[in-house]
Structure 1
Amino acid sequence: MDLGLTTRKAIICASSKGLGKACAIALAKEGCEVVINGRHGESLHETAKEIKSLTGATVIEVVGDVATQEGQRDLFKACPDPDILVTNNHGPAFRDFRELDRNTIIDGVTQNMVTPIELIKAVIDKMVAKKFGRIVNITSTSVYAPIAGLDLSSGARAGLTSFLAGIARTVVADNVTINNLLPGPFLTDRLKQSFAAASEKTGIPVHEIVAKRQTQNPAKRFGNPEEFGHACAFLCSTKSGFITGQNLIIDGGAYLSAF
């Protein structure tokens, strides 16, 4: 299927690794010029080389923390008028909510709610003016099914989901869509960190925890980041203009719900 993305310009936040990187690769394969972002220049540069090698696409590297004004300024300096915006950011570490202080809570909300809103504000009117725009937010299935220890992350992302639900309906007539991708268990660094934390807490070897978690998923495996990237590319495509304000769960069936 031709997704109609050739020559489109895409900003993918926090894309030096993990699911953000998978989205950048998928969009580059569809012919997008991609702006990738990360806080560590060396790993970002390695990712840029990999994407260029795989796809031949134009790849622009922007080193910086997207949660800061400086980071956002540099992103939009590199790509002032994106057709596609994929918001993503690292989330707060696993922590009992009793250990959270005020500053930690504010930082978590800034990273996972305020920052995407700021980025969307910066691009949405330009998208409306040219009658094309695709905004995809990478959130989490914990928005629907809270995970103990990730309460701050879940709360901030749920706030983002509700904040944008009404806004999505105000711009869809101008062919601008806003949707959310909710990843479940993909074998990313963050999931590996959770296994290590669980092992340290319980004394159970990491490989046993991994094996058990896989068997608990209806799919009997963890997700491949490439699968996530394909879903992102479709939501960014010209084929998806009638889909907006939606939360697409990608978790191998782990979230149990008929609706």
Structure 2
Amino acid sequence: MDLGIKGRSAIVCASSRGLGRGCAMALAEAGCNLVVNGRDPDPLKRTAEEIRDRFGVQVTEVAADVSTADGQKALLAACPEPDILVNNNAGPPLRDFRTLSRADILKGIEQNMVTPLELIQATVDGMMRRGFGRIVNITSLSVYMPMFGLDLSSGARAGLTSFLAGVARQVAASNVTINNLLPGKFETDRLRDNIRVGAEKAGVSIEERTRQQAAEIPARRFGTPEEFGRTCAFLCSVHAGYITGQSIRLDGGLFPSAF
């Protein structure tokens, strides 16, 4: 399917690895020119080079922490008028809520709620003037269902979801959409780290913990960054202009709900 976004410009935050990388790859496959971002220059460079080699689109690398004012300034300097913004950022590590300090809590809210809001504030009016914009926020299935140790991430991302529910309706008439993608268990470094921690706590091998985790999912497998990225790319396409204000779960059926 032609997504109708060839030549569009996209900023994909935290896109050197994992789900952000999957989104960048899928948007490049659709013909978008990209700003890719990550804090570690080496994997960022490798991702950018692979995208250029495979898809022949323009790729600008911005090695920066997207949660900082300087990082956001660098992203917007590289692409002042994006047509597409994919908000993504690392969540707080697994922690018992009792151990969280005030500073920890504020940092988590800054990373997973404040940062995407700031980037939307900086880009949405331009999208509205031009009559096209697609904003996708990568949040988490934990917005819907509790996951031990992810309380801070869940709370911050749920706050972002509620905040943007009204904003999405304000901008929809200008062909600007705002949606959220809620990943369940995907094959990423973060999942592997969580499995390792869980295995240590349970006193089992990483292989056994991996089998246990996959068995909980009706699809009996973890998702891949590639299929996540293609869902993101569709939401950014011309075909998805009537989808806005939605939180779309990609979880292999893990969340048990009819609605």
| TM-score band, normalised by shorter chain | over 0.9
Match of 2:35 in 1: 35
- Aligned to 1:65, the other structure's residue is in SS state coil
Q: CA deviation digits over 1:99-146, x for unaligned, max 9? A: 000000000000000000000000000000011000000000000001
Letter in 2 for 1:217: I
* Structure 1 stretch displaced more, 22-31 or 193-202: 193-202
- 1:88 Cα shift? 0.2
CA distance in 1, matches of 2:83, 2:190: 29
Aligned-pair Cα RMSD in Å: 0.5
Query: Does residue 208 of the first structure (1) align with residue 208 of the second (2)?
Result: yes
- Aligned to 2:228, the other structure's residue is in SS state helix
Match of 1:118 in 2: 118
- In the TM superposition, structure 1's runs of 4+ consecutive aligned residues that sit over 3 Å from their partners are none
CA distance in 2, matches of 1:258, 1:151: 24
- 1:51 Cα shift? 1.1
- Aligned to 1:136, the other structure's residue is in SS state strand
Match of 1:225 in 2: 225
Match of 2:247 in 1: 247
Match of 2:45 in 1: 45
- The number of residues matched between the two structures is 259
CA distance in 2, matches of 1:225, 1:62: 21
- 1:199 Cα shift? 1.3
- 1:187 Cα shift? 1.1
- 1:212 Cα shift? 1.4
CA distance in 2, matches of 1:113, 1:84: 19
Query: Does residue 70 of the first structure (1) align with residue 70 of the second (2)?
Result: yes
- 1:200 Cα shift? 1.4
Q: CA deviation digits over 1:129-171, x for unaligned, max 9? A: 0110000000000000010100000000000000000000001
Q: CA deviation digits over 1:3-52, x for unaligned, max 9? A: 10110000000000000000000000000001000001111001111111
Per the normalisation by structure 2, the TM-score is: 0.99
CA distance in 1, matches of 2:42, 2:209: 32
Query: Does residue 26 of the first structure (1) align with residue 26 of the second (2)?
Result: yes
Match of 1:158 in 2: 158
CA distance in 2, matches of 1:209, 1:202: 8
Query: Does residue 90 of the first structure (1) align with residue 90 of the second (2)?
Result: yes
- 1:215 Cα shift? 1.5
Query: Does residue 144 of the first structure (1) align with residue 144 of the second (2)?
Result: yes
- The percent identity for this pair of structures is 59
CA distance in 2, matches of 1:145, 1:16: 28
Match of 1:258 in 2: 258
Structure 1: any 5+ residue segments left out of the alignment?
none
Letter in 1 for 2:48: A
- Aligned to 1:168, the other structure's residue is in SS state helix
CA distance in 2, matches of 1:39, 1:224: 22
Match of 1:102 in 2: 102
- 1:57 Cα shift? 1.3
Letter in 2 for 1:53: D
Letter in 2 for 1:60: T
CA distance in 1, matches of 2:130, 2:255: 37
Query: Does residue 174 of the first structure (1) align with residue 177 of the second (2)?
Result: no
CA distance in 2, matches of 1:211, 1:46: 31
Q: CA deviation digits over 1:50-101, x for unaligned, max 9? A: 1112211111100100000000000000000000000000000000000000
- Aligned to 2:46, the other structure's residue is in SS state helix
Letter in 2 for 1:71: G
Match of 1:54 in 2: 54
Letter in 2 for 1:68: T
